[in-house]
Chain A
């Protein structure tokens, strides 16, 4: 194998791919990237056996076809530290790879391409395309609510539901729940649902860099594949049953508060300082036209905020983990939010008032 490539064309896909592989090294070959050259098309593959990322580069001229694996981190570091605009020539012979650029020359160890594991693929059953920015929004608006290492393993990921042409992302850790719905309709698709593992979710959102460009998603029974012009990402799916999230959406909320999102967020941020750092509890006291937020800690310190809000109705006192509220207020973007409550033991609903695409359920804390 032998080819020439400009540093700038190679660097970005190589970095993305190296990001997948560099972290785990159960098998020596897993710390390598697979380079495959066919004419002027170079593909770079990295995997950790759970996710796989293939980056593609179009070369300016055809090279000698072939495939080989090279140490990912070292190759990426070499590429990164060469000057802008540099050209690289990569050639392989006798089990060694040589990288030449200007007056630099590097000889790297290789492992044969046949040792490189192929993530086992299932047949795709559903395919749809949306903008990268749209997919990123679905992930960003819900990802924070995914569980981490919960014994209910199906919560350690993100639920994607396709129903009547509508795509919805849901995440929950059992205490709070986040839902974001893609506003468009995906035509001619049967209903289905998958759980994407936490890691796959985080990797995927990292790849959604060009908001206005397309990403095509293919769902299979065991795998999800996302393809753009630049890369193909594959992740295993979590085999499990996601809880019926609609059951926990509050139905009987009768106390509807509207407030400026930024004011509310700032008030919570300040009161959080003096909340118990273990439980992070804050007390909300709601009355006509005002919301009082109080936090105490074991050192007997206290924070109080009094916020004018749009509310009329019975008074209510209810506790929350302030971290859960701040997570929600951190991803919402509208000017005004709606906070729907019923009683101190029932869940609260948070959403943007201007018909946003996201819904958040937060369970209270008995203080």
Chain B
């Protein structure tokens, strides 16, 4: 699922920073992943869609498939695939518009089910989460029993299926949840971790995308076992920051805790346009719309951030980002608007059509409740620029 990709990418920094930690005592981690989530919800709610190849999203001119039903996957339709490609692979493919509010409410129900078995829930996206069930607060006896209970609850109450991976750390649990998908469980016990990982293709490790995989391949590294055969020094030379992580992960080690309090690192939004935008005026108008969307999110999270990033993808798919950081952080919509507009203005006039615009606020600080300023520090009023009295 598309939305699942983002947390993985963001997580690399925390993987690297956590990898120096000392091993905790043996934990029990479950990774729960809904099966073809958006598509399954649609098929659940509309019997006419059941048993048919279905794609959520992607019907618009430049739409991308957000999720594909298993029937569609047989034809090679995948998430993140352009709608036109999907249609070519499977001419009878049905497209439905995503209903994100429905998915969000199902996600809340899902969270309620998880909460019956543990408090340590780290959501990765609407349909995916890590659970730390070491404490077994529900007295189920084993992590496998908990995983089965959760899957049963999901089936009975939500009429959806989920797959689960059960293991002693997040990395293996996540890979394991894919093993018997859909509607399956896979368990990797502490003694089996190293062998399980050794058999994995290198691509399944975090941070190993197509490019890195290709580089690994030229170095003769294809599997977890191949990674494990390398020295830390060698990995550092070739893969830089990921080396520590690869070294540990290839031995089945991953000490990252399940963090229920996961802090958001950024808030943003973007839009792909059906027609390329060419005119400065159209770009400005489009930016205002994105400002509306993103500011609404920032406002809802009551977040303060220091960096505004503008992302522009041109018609030829060249993508650029331009960022500006300010101190003190962006507090008002006017500030956010001003910075966003300045970033765009600097790119105008655009040399070629623009297919996507996005804005992100990052460098987030914990929001400060009114009146909670440090004692003794008096907040200075912001300067006021006087205006000419026409």
Contact = CB atoms under 8 A, between A and B. Distances in A.
- Which of A25, A175, A248, A299 gathers most chain B CB within 10 Å? A25
Interface string B365-390: 00000000000000000111111111
Interface string A269-283: 000000011110100
Contacts of B327: 277-278, 297-299
A302 interface: no
Interface in B123-142: none
A148 interface: yes
A74 interface: no
Chain A at the B interface: SS class: loop
Nearest to B381: A366
Contacts of B353: 25
Nearest to B328: A298
A321 B353 CA distance: 36
B389 A365 contact: no
Contacts of A149: 284, 341, 345
A43 interface: no
A105 interface: no
A367 B279 contact: no
A104 interface: no
B319 to A, nearest CB: 20
Contact of B387 (A22, A175, A319, A367): A175
A176 B385 CA distance: 10
Interface in B301-354: 326-328, 335, 341, 345, 349-351, 353
Contact of B349 (A23, A175, A297): A23
B280 interface: yes
Contacts of B326: 277-278
Contact of B385 (A276, A297, A363): A363
Contact of A247 (B279, B351, B389): B389
B278 interface: yes
Contact of B279 (A24, A245, A297): A24
Contacts of B384: 365-366
A244 interface: yes
Given A23-B351, A172-B388, A247-B390, A367 B383 contact: yes
Contact of B388 (A24, A248, A297, A366): A248
Contacts of A24: 278-280, 349
A276 B383 CA distance: 10
Contacts of A297: 327
Chain B interface residue bracket vs A: 20 to 34
Contacts of A25: 278, 353
Contacts of A23: 349-351
Given A24-B279, A299-B327, A367-B383, A278 B335 contact: yes
Interface in B69-107: none
A277 to B, nearest CB: 6
B387 A363 contact: yes
Nearest to A177: B388
Interface string B174-204: 0000000000000000000000000000000
B388 A363 contact: yes
B383 A366 contact: yes
Query: Which one of B327, B335, B383 has the highest number of Cβ atoms from chain A below 10 Å of its Cβ?
Result: B383
B388 A361 contact: yes
A102 B281 CA distance: 43
Interface string B104-124: 000000000000000000000
A175 B345 contact: no
A183 interface: no
A356 interface: no
A321 B10 CA distance: 39
A347 B383 contact: no
A7 to B, nearest CB: 25
Interface string A324-367: 00000000000000000000010100000000000001011111
Contacts of A364: 386
Interface in A169-186: 172, 174-177
Contacts of B280: 24
Given A149-B345, A278-B327, A248 B390 contact: yes
Given A25-B278, A149-B284, A278-B335, A321 B385 contact: yes
Nearest to B345: A148
A81 B102 CA distance: 59
Contacts of A347: 386, 388
Contacts of A174: 387-388, 390
Contacts of B390: 174, 243-245, 247-248
A366 B386 contact: yes
Contacts of A247: 389-390
A175 B387 CA distance: 5
A117 to B, nearest CB: 15
B341 A248 contact: no
Contacts of A345: 386
Nearest to A73: B351
Nearest to A174: B387
A278 B279 CA distance: 29
Contacts of B341: 149
A24 B382 CA distance: 40
A176 B382 CA distance: 20
B174 to A, nearest CB: 41
B281 to A, nearest CB: 10
A93 interface: no
20 contacts: A22-B351, A23-B350, A24-B349, A25-B353, A26-B278, A149-B345, A172-B388, A175-B386, A175-B388, A243-B388, A244-B390, A248-B388, A248-B389, A278-B326, A279-B382, A279-B385, A363-B386, A365-B385, A365-B386, A366-B386
Interface of B: 278-280, 284, 326-328, 335, 341, 345, 349-351, 353, 382-390
Interface of A: 22-26, 148-149, 172, 174-177, 243-245, 247-248, 276-279, 281, 297-299, 319, 321, 345, 347, 361, 363-367
Given A26-B279, A176-B388, 20 more contacts: A24-B279, A25-B353, A26-B278, A172-B388, A175-B386, A244-B390, A247-B390, A277-B326, A278-B327, A278-B328, A279-B382, A279-B383, A281-B383, A297-B327, A345-B386, A347-B388, A363-B385, A364-B386, A365-B386, A366-B384
